[in-house]
Amino acid sequence: MAKTLPKTDVVVVGVGWAGGIIAAELTKSGLNVVGLERGKERKTEDYFMVHDELRYALRYELMQDLSKDTVTFRSQEKVRALPMRQYGSFLLGEGLGGAGVHWNGQTYRFLPYDFQIRTKTIERYGKGKIPEGMTIQDWGITYEELEPYYDKFEKLTGISGEPNPLGGQRSADYPTPPMKKSPALSLFNEAASKLKLHPYMMPSANLSQNYTNPDGISRGACQYCAYCERFGCEYGAKADPVVTVLPVALKTGKFEIRTHSNVRRILHKGGKATGVMYTDSTTGEELIQPADIVVVTSYVFNNVKLLLMSGLGKPYDPASGTGVIGRNYAYQVTKGNAAGFFEDKEFNMFAGAGALGVTLDDYNGDNFDHSDLKFIHGAAISLSQTGMRPIANNPVPGGTASWGAEFKANSVKYANRFLSVGGQGSSMPFQHHFLDLDPTYKDAYGDPLVRLTFDFEEQDRQLAMYVSNRCADIMKEMGANHIDQLKSLGPYEITMYQSTHNTGGVVMGASPDTSAVNTYAQMWDAENVFVVGASAFPHNSGYNPTGTVGALAYRTAEGIIKYRQKGGMLV
Amino acid sequence: MADPNQTGGSDNQKVEQPSRRKFLVQAGYAVGGVIVGGALGSLIRRDKKTETAPGASPGEGAAEARNYNRALMFFNQEQLNIVSAATERIFPADDAGPGALALGVPFFIDHQLAGEWGFNSREYMSPPFFAGEKEQGYQGRLKRREMFEIGLREMENHSQTKYTKGFTELAPEQQDEVLRAFESDEVKLTTISASGFFKMLRSSTLEGAYSDPLYGGNADMNGWRMRAYPGNQMSYTDVIDKDFAVIAPSSLQDHLSAH
Ligand SMILES: Cc1cc2nc3c(=O)[nH]c(=O)nc-3n(C[C@H](O)[C@H](O)[C@H](O)COP(=O)(O)OP(=O)(O)OC[C@H]3O[C@@H](n4cnc5c(N)ncnc54)[C@H](O)[C@@H]3O)c2cc1C
Ligand code: SF4
The pLDDT tens digits for A89-138 are: 999 999 999 999 999 999 999 999 999 999 999 999 999 999 999 999 99
* CB contact B216 to A (< 8 Å): no
Cα dihedral: B168, B169, B173, B176 (round 10): -30
> HEC states along A256-313?
EEECCEEEEEEEEECCEEEEEEEEECCCCCEEEEEEEEEEECCHHHHHHHHHHHHCCC
C-alpha triplet B109, B111, B117: angle, nearest 5°: 80
Ligand 1 atom closest to Cα of residue A104: 8
Which A residues in the span 527-546 are in contact with B, Cβ-Cβ below 8 Å?
none
Q: Which range has the worst mean pLDDT, A446-450, A527-531, B59-63, B161-165?
A: B59-63
pLDDT digits (tens, 9 = 90+) for A219-228: 999 999 999 9
pLDDT tens-digit series, residues A270-314: 999 999 999 999 999 999 999 999 999 999 999 999 999 999 999
User: Residue of the nearest CA to atom 1 in ligand 2?
Assistant: A353
> How many domains in chain A?
1
What does B47-67 look like in DSSP terms, one character per residue?
A: PGGG-SPTT--TTSS-TT---
- CB neighbourhood size of A148 (10 A): 14
Query: Do A67 and B124 lie within an 8 Å CB cutoff?
Result: yes
Closest ligand to C-alpha of residue A242 is 1
Residue B48's Cα: distance from chain center in Å?
A: 29
Contact B99 A408 (CB under 8 A): yes
Taking an 8 Å cut-off on Cβ atoms, the answer to whether B244 and A494 are in contact is no
On whether any CB of chain B is under 8 Å from the CB of A51, the answer is yes
Are the C-beta atoms of residues A291 and A267 closer than 8 Å to each other?
no
Residues A139 and A123: their CA atoms lie apart, in Å, by 16
Given this model, what pLDDT does residue B64 score? Answer: 59
According to DSSP, residue A128 is labeled G
Interface contact A47, partner B, CB < 8 A: yes
The count of CB pairs under 8 A between chains A and B is 220
Residue B253: strand pairing partners: none
Query: How large is the average pLDDT for residues B28-40?
Result: 46
Residue A469 lies in a domain: yes
- Tallying the residues shown for chain A, one arrives at 571
Q: Where are the domains of chain B?
A: 21-47, 77-227
> Please, which pLDDT band fits residue A517 given cuts at 50, 70 and 90?
very high
Mean pLDDT confidence for A516-536: 98
Give the largest Cα separation in chain B, rounded: 75
| Residue type at B6 in one-letter notation | Q
Is A571 among the domain residues? no
Q: For helices B144-163 and B194-210, what crossing angle results, to 10°?
A: 110
Residue A127's SS3 state is helix
CA-closest residue to ligand 2 atom 8: A233
**By 3-state DSSP, what share of chain B in percent is helix, strand and coil, each rounded to 5?**
45, 5, 50
Average pLDDT score, chain A: 98
pLDDT at B34: 45
**In 10 A of CB B10, how many CB atoms?**
7
Q: What is the DSSP letter of A548?
A: H
**Catalytic residue check, A51:** no
CA A560 to CA B12: how far, in whole Å?
Answer: 52
Q: Which residue from B90, B207, B236 is facing A403, i.e. has the nearest CB?
A: B90
Classify residue A18: in a domain, yes or no: yes
Longest dimension (CA), chain A: 72
User: Which ipTM did the prediction report?
Assistant: 0.96
What gap in Å lies between CA B224 and CA B215, rounded to an integer?
14
Q: Are A247 and A192 in contact (CB under 8 A)?
A: no
Q: Is residue A412 part of a domain?
A: yes
AA letter at A393: N
A224 at B interface, C-beta within 8 A: yes
Q: B240 CA to chain A: closest CA distance, Å?
A: 5
Element at A448 (helix H, strand E): strand A448-453
Q: What is the distance between the alpha carbons of residues A25 and A554, in angstroms, rounded to a whole number?
A: 8
Whether B30 has a pLDDT exceeding 60, the answer reads no
Sheet strands (E) in chain B: 30-31, 34-35
For residue B66, what pLDDT band results from cuts at 50, 70 and 90?
Answer: confident
pLDDT at A36 over 50: yes
Beta-carbon contacts of A352 under 8 Å, excluding residues fewer than 6 positions away, are: A182, A224, A226, A228, A384, A385, A386, A387, A388, B236, B240
Q: Which of A398, A421, A418 is nearest to A467 (CA)?
A: A421
Those residues with Cβ within 8 angstroms of residue B201's Cβ, 6 or more apart along the chain or in another chain: B83, B86, B87, B90, B151
Domain at A542, CATH number: 3.50.50.60
Domain assignment present for residue A68? The answer is yes
* Kind of pairing between the strands at A8-13 and A379-384: unpaired
Domain, as residue range, for A401? 3-566
Amino acid at position B124, single letter: Y
> What is the reported pLDDT for B21?
38
* Cβ atoms of residues A228 and A212 within 8 Å: no
